[in-house]
Structure 1
Amino acid sequence: MLLAVEQGNTNTTFALHDGARWIAQWRTATDPARTADEYAVWLHQLLSMQQMTLGAIDDCIISSVVPQSVFNLRNLARRYLKVEPMVVGENVELGIDIRIDKPSEAGADRLVNAIGGFLKYGGPLILIDSGTATTFDVVGADGGFEGGLIAPGINLSMQALHSAAARLPRIAIARPAHVIGRGTVEAMQSGVFWGYVALIEGLIDRIRAEYGAPMQAIATGGVASLFEGATTRIDAFDPELTLKGLLEIVRRNGKLRTR
């Protein structure tokens, strides 16, 4: 059984693959101070609800953009799963050409998404990952990672409005009925939601124009589903793109055990 850990700045996903399919997924808030012991207790309880044990896991892969958490996740694998984990960016072969000025600066999540996206959709691609930050990454026709851009995530924008403007309330992200808001809450929701749609559409158009070739645009990430049906620029929404990439990395390193 493979345990795949995908850790972003806001949430961490734990997923189990039995060699044929994903059989369970759980999400927890990312906390850099969480210890290996705390992860083990939490994971043990969730596995118990599925009539499974920690001993059923015989492989582990970790992708994290939070360096201070990797130590504890690695100890979770070593001490409680009795396996040496694969850590993206440290001890695994990705099999992808990284075509940016400083390849070491490419985030693990962006590379994993590039692998998963090319595996399923081919290339060239624009991958839009909506999380704490919203990233737009370009994958070449041959699967190479060609760079991209990073913008603040929609939740950060919402928090900034509330924090920096004394009279603006804290609100939930929602798709408003009208672009022109007729109240403060509706005006904020419209500005954030439709402003992000405009951001997504504008950047996709600019990337395609600069790249000079037809490109599919694929969206993933925790809040990507908010924009489904709100724009025609995105060709597909794929919430499991990162997990597809992690599974492919395990395969490329000859570690996937099939049933």
Structure 2
Amino acid sequence: MLLAVDAGNTNVVFALVDNGAIRARWRIATDPRRTADEYAVWLNQLLMLEGFAMADVDAVIIATVVPRALHNLEVLASKYFKVTPLIAGQAPVEWGIALDVAEPASVGADRVVNAIAAHHLYTGDLIVIDFGTATTFDVVDYSGAYKGGIIAPGINLSLDALVSAAAKLPRIAIAAPEDRSVIGRTTEAQMQIGVFWGYVAMIEGLVARMRAEIGRPVRVISTGGLAVLFDAHTDIFDAIAPDLTIQGLALMHGRI
């Protein structure tokens, strides 16, 4: 089986993939100081809870936007799974799609992997929105080429910045307000409206601008932990694909 690893700025996601089907997935907070031994102890226990063993893994593929985390993940693969890990974007698993942007080398691995998976799963021009540490909007054209996009602060990052910069504002949970009113009667309600409906308005506004610039019918695909939350309060998404990055890694592994 394949162990697909998506090392993001906030979490590292591990997924066990068998013939394209995701059998189990786990996440742990990203910490570049975490050693291969620590990963191995944690993963071994989780594998056993799901009825698997480390010996069941015969391949590892990694995508990361945290360069300092890569070494320990490579050691994990070689020391504990006895395999040489594949690194997304490096031989023999090059991207295989055109990166039609000014600085191709600067595009995050997760965004390219998402583009690969989205083009495989959906037809036509696409906008892929990934709700992570940052919220990214990526344009993939009908041929599968990555055309560029937008990077915006993630909603958690925005809320953290607001609370840390304003001494009297309380920390609130990210959730939809109880009603659709945008005139809050308490400080907490006003913050929730600003964070939640403000974010919905940003998503809808940016997608509208991107659609107008593309000039052709576009499908909007959403991924990331908060995709489902926003989907209930806007009709902007055509599909929710929570495992898009893992699916992209599995597709890349399947090419070799």
Is TM-score (shorter-chain normalized) higher than 0.5? yes
CA contact (8 A) 2:20 2:250 kept: no
Find the aligned partners of 2:18 and 2:132 in 1 and give their Cα distance.
Answer: 27
Find the aligned partners of 2:128 and 2:116 in 1 and give their Cα distance.
Answer: 11
TM-score (norm 1): 0.95
Find the aligned partners of 2:22 and 2:140 in 1 and give their Cα distance.
Answer: 25
* 2:237 counterpart (214, 234, 237): 234
CA contact (8 A) 1:15 1:24 kept: yes
- The amino acid of 2:148's aligned partner reads G
Query: Which has the higher mean CA deviation after the structures are superposed, 227-236 or 110-119?
Result: 227-236
Find the aligned partners of 2:20 and 2:214 in 1 and give their Cα distance.
Answer: 37
- Structure 1 residues 151-166: aligned runs within 5 Å: 151-166=152-167
Question: Could you say what secondary structure the match of 1:46 adopts?
Answer: helix
Runs of 4+ in 1 over 2 A off after TM superposition: none
Q: CA deviation at 1:48?
A: 1.4
* 1:202 counterpart (196, 202, 205): 205
Which residue in the other structure is 1:125 paired with?
126
Which residue in the other structure is 2:146 paired with?
145
CA contact (8 A) 1:15 1:22 kept: yes
Write out per-residue CA displacement over residues 38-79 of structure 1, whole angstroms, 9 at most, x where no aligned residue: 000100111111232111100010011110000000110011
CA contact (8 A) 1:55 1:81 kept: yes
- Structure 1 residues 1-259: aligned runs within 5 Å: 1-91=1-91, 92-176=93-177, 177=179, 178-253=181-256
CA RMSD between the two structures = 1.0
Return 5+ residue gaps in structure 1 as ranges. 254-259
- The amino acid of 2:212's aligned partner reads A
Find the aligned partners of 2:220 and 2:29 in 1 and give their Cα distance.
Answer: 28
CA contact (8 A) 2:225 2:242 kept: yes
Q: CA deviation at 1:20?
A: 4.9
Find the aligned partners of 1:118 and 1:245 in 2 and give their Cα distance.
Answer: 10
Find the aligned partners of 2:171 and 2:161 in 1 and give their Cα distance.
Answer: 10
CA contact (8 A) 1:122 1:143 kept: no
Return 5+ residue gaps in structure 2 as ranges. none
Q: CA deviation at 1:202?
A: 0.4
Question: Could you say what secondary structure the match of 1:6 adopts?
Answer: strand
CA contact (8 A) 1:93 1:252 kept: no
Q: CA deviation at 1:90?
A: 2.5
Q: CA deviation at 1:160?
A: 0.9
Q: CA deviation at 1:94?
A: 2.0
CA contact (8 A) 2:20 2:247 kept: no
TM-score (norm 2): 0.96
Q: Once the two structures are aligned, what percentage of the paired residues are identical?
A: 56
Question: Could you say what secondary structure the match of 1:220 adopts?
Answer: strand
